[in-house]
Amino acid sequence: MPLAAVALCVAQSLSAEDAPAVSADAIQEPSAPTQPACQLHVWPGEDFHTVYYGWGHGGTVDGSQKGRAGYDRVLADPLSTARQARLLEAQPIAELLGLNSYEVTIHPDRLSSREIRTKAERHVVTSPPCYAELMIDTIVLQSHVLSGRGLNIVYRFRQFDSDPAPTRVFGTYVVEPLEIDLTDKAEPDPVVFTAELERAFNENLKEFAANVKTPRKKKK
């Protein structure tokens, strides 16, 4: 089944005339007259990973989820793919990215890391020439005994025109500090933990979008 057919279309129109809601049929037929000029497709990521540096131990990826001794206990699924999709729906993503005329489609499923990193062409084949995609590559709850905790999200953004190759490819990571207390003894309060991760997720996305609009220059 084409990705577009299962896409959860979310109209994030900035005005009624420039971004009408799109049906699945319209996405499947690029030549249809109702198709918007530009589309932005967004994919959520996998549930978060964890990394940890403690006193004399650490390094195991997902040590928390695996229940390893000494690793902070975390709750399963506070940023599941479905929850990310809901958070993304609530954000004015096109506006944040400076793509005001684009109609946004939030996909309910994530792409695999292989798809994200190796597929050169657009992920939605039946899309208009004016097309962009935003993928959440990886989310990591990082924790260091000396520097604290943060939500590190790696994003990939690509823009296309009529050419098969993207006109722009940009990917980076953003770390949003987390204000939560975690221990290896007990699970965190689910309400507090989830709220903080959701806050960090939303702030992180805004920071990434700002980087898309004005990328930082590399130091020579």
CB of 146 to other proteins, least distance (A): 4
Decide if residue 60 touches other proteins (CB under 8 A).
Answer: yes
167: exposed, middle or buried (Cβ count in 10 Å: 0-12, 13-18, 19+): exposed
Instruction: Pick the closer one to other proteins by CB: 18 or 184.
Output: 184
Q: Which of 2, 6, 79 is nearest to 47 (CA)?
A: 79
Pick the closer one to other proteins by CB: 126 or 138. Answer: 138
Identity of the residue numbered 57: H
Q: Does 144 bind other proteins (CB under 8 A)?
A: yes
Task: Report yes or no: 27 and 4 within 8 Å, Cβ to Cβ.
Answer: yes
Q: Which helix (H) or strand (E) holds 157?
A: strand 148-160
Q: Which residue's CB is nearer to other proteins, number 12 or number 43?
A: 43
Among 71-79, 89-97, 150-158, 194-202, the segment contacting other proteins (CB under 8 A): 150-158
How far apart are CB 58 and other proteins at their closest, in Å?
8
Q: Which of 8, 24, 28, 58 binds other proteins (CB under 8 A)?
A: 58
Paired tokens of 1: 């089944």
Q: Which one of residues 80, 81, 126, 138 is an interface residue with other proteins (CB under 8 A)?
A: 138
CA–CA distance, 147 with 134 (Å, rounded to integer)? 29
Q: Cβ of residue 150: shortest distance to other proteins, in angstroms? A: 7
Cβ-contact 49, 63 below 8 angstroms? no
Is residue 113 a contact residue for other proteins (CB under 8 A)?
yes
Q: Which residues contact residue 72 at a Cβ distance below 8 angstroms, ignoring those fewer than 6 apart? A: 50, 52, 64, 143, 182, 183, 184
Query: Does residue 41 touch other proteins according to CB under 8 A?
Result: no
- Is residue 106 at the binding interface for other proteins, with CB under 8 A as the rule? no
Amino acid at site 85: A
Return the biggest CA–CA distance within the chain: 63
Considering only residues 155-184, where is the footprint of other proteins by CB under 8 A? 156, 169-175
Least Cβ distance, residue 117 to other proteins (angstroms): 7
Among 146, 162, 183, 185, indicate the residue that binds other proteins (CB under 8 A). 146
Torsion-angle region of 77 (φ positive above 0: left; ψ -120 to 50: alpha; else: beta): left
Chain residues binding other proteins by CB under 8 A are 49, 51, 53-62, 66, 112-114, 117, 137-138, 140, 142-147, 150, 152, 154, 156, 169-175, 207, 211, 215-219
